[in-house]
Structures are given as C-alpha cells and as structure tokens.
Amino acid sequence: MTIPVHRAETFYLPPPELPTDAWELVPAAERVFRWYEYRVQRRVTPPDGFIVGQQVYARINHNRWVVDCRCGSAQVATPTDQRTACTECGLGWITVVFPDDPDAVEAGLAGLLPDDRNWVHPEDPGTTWPAPAPTQPQPEPMRAETLR
C-alpha cells in the first residue's frame, strides 16, 4: 500500500473530540481556518473576496501539496479547491496553479519515501512572491574600527 500525498482535506482534520466528518461540508481551502482556530484558540475569519490577478504555484513538499504566502507562511492545499488565503497575514483568496494532472504527478512520486516526495511546477518562476520590503531602515554593519 502506498502512502498518498496529503491534500488539505486529508491534512486539516477536526480535533479528536469532534466526529471525523465534522468538517465534511467545509470547502477544502477553508479547512485551514478551522484547523488554525483550534490550534491557536482564537477566531480567524476567512476573507470575503478574491485578490484579482494574483496566483501562486502549488508544489509537493515532503508528501504534501503546499502553497507559500508572501509573508513567509505556508499551508497545505488541494487541487479540488484551487484557492488559498493566509491565516497569518490575512492575505485574501488567490488562485492556486496546479499541474494539469495532479494525480499523475502524485503517481510519479509514489515510488519514493514520503519525505523524499518533492515536486515543483515547471512554470513556477522559483520565487512566486517577491521578498517583503523592509519596514524600517536597516542599520549599517559595525566595522572593526568602531569597536575600538
């Protein structure tokens, strides 16, 4: 038996005190908000709308479909609900780009150990998000002569 690649619907599961199907009607991309609320013990509301023109590429990282946020956070995604929003910085819904055949990508990695299952979309430019601009001026490094 092969261990399947994790998707949002198999990764973000209800806490043990709830029935296993408690989140069955919650769309897969929104389950991260339920899971996060339980973990941090505070209310986190999913965004209302999409950020038009923004997209991020999904990748497989250690046997999970993952999307990265420009704030440095990441979450598990799924090809069955191709959107993501950030629970950390509050970035609204954006489109997630998956390969045309995610099942074929997963099958191509099935012979590897789960920790070795990694894949990057061939069209991903390598840095989906630009590095955030510094919010404050950075101090100049100290030089040896200033320490004397």
pLDDT, one tens digit per residue, over 27-49 is 999 999 999 999 999 998 899 88
CB 106 within 8 A of CB 5: yes
The model's pTM: 0.81
Tell which wins on pLDDT, 69 or 144.
69
Return the closest-CA partner of residue 69 out of 42, 47, 39. Answer: 47
